[in-house]
Chain A
Amino acid sequence: MRPGTARAVLLRLLAGLGVMWGAATLTFIALQLVQGDQVAGVLGTNSLATPAVRAQVIHEYGFDQPVLVQYLHWLGRLVTGDLGRSYQLNTPVTQALSGQIWPTAQLAGAATLIAVVVSVVVAVLTTGRGRRVRSAASGAELVAVSVPAFWIGLIALTYLSFKWHLLPGAGATGLSGLLLPAAVLSIPLTGILSQVLREGLDEALRQPFAISVRARGVGPTALVARHALRHALASLATLVGWMVGSLFGGAVLIETVFARPGLGRVLLSAVTSRDLPVVSAVVLLVAGVFVVVNVVVDLLYLRIDPRLRTPRSA
């Protein structure tokens, strides 16, 4: 890695830390805004717990300390990697989340893989074709983006699993259990990706280099796959941040419909039960993923587009 690149990475990581601190602070403020409910968050709403238990909770969680002291304590604990204890589960948050990260990563990874493969194939096949092929493709993409994923999930489960028994249903584990939810989660993603890709490809094909390549005797499909694709990938890379958000948002619904373990479901139940330490931990985790993904994407730009590799000072 060149010193310039290393410096860029370092700067971005520092900025990332700033983002994390901002996310942590915002979460803390949100937590304070519902302060009246903090004891309820621990004890559950409508709890018939005795005043002695309430007092114990207030004391144990430090709800009686000044807000600034609570904030500093909380930041201090975060720096040392202590995310606190889940109100509801009564276990450390890290422990509550640890088993949930992998299932969501699997789901998101598989969905991304499916989306990328399908959209690249669709885009390469439909670029530079006649109007009919193109409008059919963009029509399909529009539908894919607009139809709610959970609804597709319900339909897919009803037919593929409950009726025809082709695939395992809710609560299934293993690779076959991953296929259906990942495919459903990938649908809106595929729609957007192939749209953006095809636009990028069309743009690339209008460049003068396309004609030179064709002049060398390279076929149209090879031109798209080998040369234009690289140009289009740059616009795709900008979407990665959005993809992370979309995948995580989708995971909340998909995990619920398919009764899969995972962060999305944990977040949903934590929000409904006001388990604020868990909510804030998930927020921080997702913020962290965003930061890392964005740094990686920035590095990817350098690989995809050689023109960006020249040091800025030059």
Chain B
Amino acid sequence: MPSFALRRVRRASPLVLTLAAACALAACGSDDDATSTNAAQATGTPRSGGSLVFATEKEPECFDTQVSQSDVSGVIMRNVYESLVSQAKDGSFKPWLATKWTVSPDARTYTFDLRDGVQFSDGTPFDAAAVKANLDRIADPRTKSKYAISLLGPYRDSTVVDDHTVRVRFKTPFATFLRNASTTYLGFHSPKSIEEHGSRLCAGGPDQVGTGPFLLQSYTRGQQAVLVRNPKYTSAPGTATHTGPAYLDRLTFRFIPDPTVRVGSVVGSQVDAADAVPPNQLPKVQRDAALKVVSTDTPGVGYTWYLNTTNDLFRDRRLRLAVQQAFDGEAAVKAVYFGAYARSWSVLSPSTLGYDPALKGTWGYDPAAANTLLDEAGWTGRDGDGYRTKDGQRLSTRLLFVPEYTSEDRAALDQALQADLKKVGLELKLVPLDSAAYEPVRNAGKYGLIGFAWGGGDPDLLRVLFDSTQLFDDGGNNAARLDDPQVDAALHAGGATTDVAKRKAAYATVQQRLIQEGVALPTAVQKRQIAVASKVSGLTFDANGWPLFYDVAK
């Protein structure tokens, strides 16, 4: 069920037309690995060796990231499959398997200069032919790519210019390709492994061959995936803090779905780190001196309610704003997340490129104003239950949800909204539907509100959520059923340019308009919180808010 899963869309917009990122970065020349490691040790920092057990909530259903769409596959295989470029948290691009790149002015042709001397762990050289083989594989419908193919957009073809130069062409301008190319999903398999194991690359195991700092040694379904260090690794990304082989000898991902058990395992020192610590378990971790919490705001859109602008009630802006003003977001977020999460002021979380900080404090809880708006809209009567009426009709609307996809915290936020709206005389019915029944009702727009989160590091994700051509029936996720020329124009402006300042301005317009029009009501800034043994260092996050292990030491 689309809208409920914490989603990943990172179909992104272009960013910097990074022309020729220079080799100034450590990652780029061929370095003497031993020296850099020793240098690091001399300064008393990371030690090489040791093993780390990382407990995850989810388990990959498929390890072939060119096919899979799951986040956890991406997190694990990031250590095996590498990309052309890497994206820093500020949105800029750094060299990785490509040392420099050029983008044609019409954003249809990308030319990459590939790094010299990189080999896949099976000895196959990484070259222009390998890039072409991988991209062609993703674009081939027989690969049945669930996600990577969408990152290739209007892919036309790849040309091997010479061994170390590849040209990728698109049928129409495709300004988001650099960002897409930085994701694990467009990471590279050894062409030999594609040839020999092609359709079986989902299975997880030593057949998964990339250029990365770790090798996938074994996978036991329902239990764990074990990765070991690639001793010959030379292709660290420009965003990493060291070069040469990884520090850890061994990196184990253990799949522990139950949060109590996962957190208990790290408290009991049976694993070194536990992902996705729920807010209610946080105090247990914070009390423990042997543990620390490493966290990052999840980029993208946190749990947000979308008000159906084609609905009888919410086509009236005053009613939308009344909902916005009646909701005591501060109190609700504090109660539901035990004070661990901040309240959101924009649909975008602060860690997303283009987040507009100017919205902070510009709107919020004002029940008196909400009551005035509802009076103005003519809902002046009251019925026996205290709800407002107009012409004998109760002021009532529905929020649809699918219980199996609605986590406890989100259900609690829905109930908080329901209680707040009741105080201003608006009845909110929380309507549970099973996933099969939900979709047709949702697609037909028969609701007042629905809520969901949408992950991703680039503001272009707002296009799927608010562009007038992205209704559910169009395959998009425009849950507010918004048709606003200003928003459309700003979304297109933001997606068409690679100029960061222009993009920020465009997406600021979108964010402000969404709040001013009361179209979307954001709740909390979600976090990814990882409980980590104190002796573990170097755990950081990428632009998507995913944990990175290459620089981790123990």
Choose, from B220-228, B328-336, B407-415, B527-535, the stretch at the interface.
Answer: B220-228
Select the residue from B5, B145, B262 with max chain A CB neighbours within 10 A.
B145
Instruction: Verify A90–B199 contact, CB threshold 8 A.
Output: yes
Residues on A with beta carbons closer than 8 Å to the beta carbon of B435:
45
Interface size class of A (residues with CB under 8 A): 35 or more
Interface residues of A (CB under 8 A from B): 34, 36-37, 42-50, 52-53, 55-57, 60, 88-91, 95-96, 99-100, 103, 154, 157-158, 161-163, 165, 168-171, 173, 255-262, 265-266, 269, 272-273, 275
**Which residue of A55, A161, A165 contacts B141 across the interface (Cβ within 8 Å)?**
A55
Interface residues of B (CB under 8 A from A): 1-3, 5, 7, 9, 11, 55, 59, 61-62, 64, 67, 69-70, 141-142, 144-147, 149-150, 199-200, 202-203, 220-224, 254-258, 260-262, 264-265, 267-268, 270-271, 404, 435-436
Instruction: Verify A259–B256 contact, CB threshold 8 A.
Output: yes
Residues on B with beta carbons closer than 8 Å to the beta carbon of A43:
144, 146
A103 to chain B, nearest CB (A): 7
* A179–B439 CA distance with the chains assembled, in angstroms: 44
**CB-CB nearest in chain B for A36:** B436
Q: Can you offer 25 A-B residue contacts whose CB atoms are under 8 A?
A: A37-B436, A44-B69, A45-B1, A45-B5, A46-B1, A47-B146, A49-B145, A52-B141, A53-B141, A88-B61, A88-B62, A90-B202, A100-B221, A154-B260, A154-B261, A158-B264, A162-B267, A162-B268, A170-B55, A171-B224, A171-B255, A171-B256, A258-B261, A259-B222, A259-B258
B39 to chain A, nearest CB (A): 37
B26 to chain A, nearest CB (A): 35
B443 to chain A, nearest CB (A): 12
Residues on B with beta carbons closer than 8 Å to the beta carbon of A46:
1-3, 5, 7
Instruction: Verify A99–B221 contact, CB threshold 8 A.
Output: yes
Q: A49-B147, A259-B255 are in contact. Are A56 and B142 (CB under 8 A)?
A: yes
* A171–B180 CA distance with the chains assembled, in angstroms: 35
Residues on B with beta carbons closer than 8 Å to the beta carbon of A88:
61-62
Instruction: Verify A260–B268 contact, CB threshold 8 A.
Output: no
Instruction: Verify A57–B144 contact, CB threshold 8 A.
Output: yes
Among all A-B residue pairs, the 4 with the closest Cβ atoms: A261-B222, A162-B268, A46-B2, A48-B150
**CB-CB nearest in chain A for B69:** A44
Instruction: Verify A169–B261 contact, CB threshold 8 A.
Output: yes
Residues on A with beta carbons closer than 8 Å to the beta carbon of B258:
154, 170, 256-257, 259
Instruction: Verify A262–B222 contact, CB threshold 8 A.
Output: yes
Instruction: Verify A169–B268 contact, CB threshold 8 A.
Output: yes
Q: A49-B147, A88-B61 are in contact. Are A162 and B265 (CB under 8 A)?
A: yes
* A25–B42 CA distance with the chains assembled, in angstroms: 68
B138 to chain A, nearest CB (A): 10
Residues on B with beta carbons closer than 8 Å to the beta carbon of A158:
260, 264
A173 to chain B, nearest CB (A): 8
Residues on A with beta carbons closer than 8 Å to the beta carbon of B224:
171
B206 to chain A, nearest CB (A): 15
* A60–B140 CA distance with the chains assembled, in angstroms: 14
**Which residue of A34, A48, A52, A171 contacts B254 across the interface (Cβ within 8 Å)?**
A171
B139 to chain A, nearest CB (A): 9
* A273–B61 CA distance with the chains assembled, in angstroms: 9
Instruction: Verify B144–A89 contact, CB threshold 8 A.
Output: no
* A50–B147 CA distance with the chains assembled, in angstroms: 9
Residues on B with beta carbons closer than 8 Å to the beta carbon of A169:
261, 264-265, 268, 270
A154 to chain B, nearest CB (A): 6
Q: A46-B3, A162-B265 are in contact. Are A261 and B203 (CB under 8 A)?
A: no
* Given A171-B223, A171-B270, A261-B220, 16 extra CB contacts under 8 A: A37-B436, A42-B144, A46-B1, A46-B7, A47-B69, A48-B69, A49-B144, A49-B145, A50-B149, A89-B62, A91-B200, A169-B261, A170-B55, A259-B222, A259-B256, A266-B221
B522 to chain A, nearest CB (A): 20
Residues on A with beta carbons closer than 8 Å to the beta carbon of B55:
170-171
* A50–B9 CA distance with the chains assembled, in angstroms: 14
Instruction: Verify A170–B199 contact, CB threshold 8 A.
Output: no
* A288–B202 CA distance with the chains assembled, in angstroms: 29
* A261–B223 CA distance with the chains assembled, in angstroms: 5
Residues on A with beta carbons closer than 8 Å to the beta carbon of B146:
43-44, 47-49, 53
Residues on A with beta carbons closer than 8 Å to the beta carbon of B221:
96, 99-100, 261, 266
B285 to chain A, nearest CB (A): 13
A210 to chain B, nearest CB (A): 49
* A245–B265 CA distance with the chains assembled, in angstroms: 30
* A262–B220 CA distance with the chains assembled, in angstroms: 10
A215 to chain B, nearest CB (A): 57
Instruction: Verify A168–B270 contact, CB threshold 8 A.
Output: yes
Instruction: Verify A266–B5 contact, CB threshold 8 A.
Output: no
Residues on B with beta carbons closer than 8 Å to the beta carbon of A42:
144
Instruction: Verify A49–B150 contact, CB threshold 8 A.
Output: yes
* A36–B443 CA distance with the chains assembled, in angstroms: 14
**CB-CB nearest in chain A for B67:** A90
Instruction: Verify A53–B7 contact, CB threshold 8 A.
Output: no
Residues on B with beta carbons closer than 8 Å to the beta carbon of A161:
264, 268, 270
